[in-house]
């Protein structure tokens, strides 16, 4: 029998279960313990050259727990909003009947997810953008949640009015907070700092920003300095 390749092509770019690679003969136990492979979770590995991102760790979570759906801030990352980084725990939700799970690197919650709240993004099971927004609103402080919702709207994966309609009809944990957050979000901010400034102004005695205010600022003339000999 020819020797097993140290780095099989089918394992070079993706996360995989070590036990499956052993059973299929792609790797030997000694090879799996070698320096070519990085352990992401118990029995889930990736080649050492693959950059570890939160998306990759979310993939590892769904490999380790096939019944799981990526939720919360981890789902927001899959929707294009970087609320957590590569070293942060991945949140997943499993059905209520699933037994308790304690795996370092994962935050596993047991809850029912309606079919309408499930989607696939980046090839992974994830909550819809709207359901993700409700969960994030329940997890984060209010201003941070508004920032996250504005960022989610800025990605274009959902519009403000459909999101507000979904949140208005939502029930369960976090739904009341989500309605407050959705009322404060406007989907127009181009950066988190812009959202935070808008919230500060909204809580002050200053009038809310308007188009006329913006035009007044842009119409202000400032002296233009030129070098000698230039007009």
How many angstroms separate the first and last alpha carbons of the chain? 81
Task: Check whether 80 has a pLDDT greater than 60.
Answer: yes
pTM: 0.85
Mean pLDDT of the chain: 89
Write the pLDDT tens digit of every residue in 170-199.
988 889 999 999 999 999 998 999 999 999
**The pLDDT value given to residue 173:** 83
- Token pair belonging to 120: 């696939």
**The pLDDT value given to residue 97:** 94
**The pLDDT value given to residue 208:** 62
State how far the Cα of 189 lies from the Cα of 203, in Å rounded to an integer. Answer: 17
DSSP string covering 119-175: EEETTEEEE-HHHHHHHHHHHS-HHHHHHHHHHHHHTTSS-HHHHHHHHHH--STTH
Mean pLDDT for the stretch of residues 201-205: 85
**The pLDDT value given to residue 229:** 44
Among residues 83, 44, 49, which one has the least CA distance to residue 60?
44
**The pLDDT value given to residue 155:** 95
Express the helix, strand and coil content of the chain in percent, nearest 5 each: 45, 15, 45
């Amino acid at each position: 029998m020819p020797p097993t390749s140290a780095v099989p092509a089918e394992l070079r770019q993706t996360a995989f279960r070590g036990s499956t690679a052993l059973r299929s003969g792609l790797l030997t136990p000694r090879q799996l313990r070698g320096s070519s492979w990085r352990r992401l979770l118990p029995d889930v590995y990736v080649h050492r050259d693959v950059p570890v991102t939160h998306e990759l760790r979310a993939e590892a979570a769904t490999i380790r727990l096939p019944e799981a759906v990526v939720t919360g801030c981890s789902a927001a990352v899959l929707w294009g909003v970087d609320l957590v980084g590569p070293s942060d725990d991945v949140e997943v939700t499993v059905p209520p009947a699933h037994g308790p799970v304690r795996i370092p690197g994962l935050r596993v919650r047991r809850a029912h997810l309606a079919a309408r709240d499930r989607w696939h993004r980046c090839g992974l099971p994830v909550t819809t953008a709207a359901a993700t927004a409700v969960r994030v609103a329940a997890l984060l402080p209010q201003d941070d949640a508004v920032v996250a919702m504005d960022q989610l709207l800025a990605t274009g994966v959902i519009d403000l009015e459909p999101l507000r309609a979904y949140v208005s009809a939502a029930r369960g944990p976090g739904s009341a907070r989500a309605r407050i957050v959705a009322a404060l979000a406007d989907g127009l901010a181009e950066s988190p700092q812009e959202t935070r400034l808008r919230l500060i102004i909204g809580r002050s005695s200053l009038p809310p920003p308007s188009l006329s205010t913006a035009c007044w600022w842009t119409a202000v003339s400032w002296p233009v300095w030129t070098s000698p000999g230039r007009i």
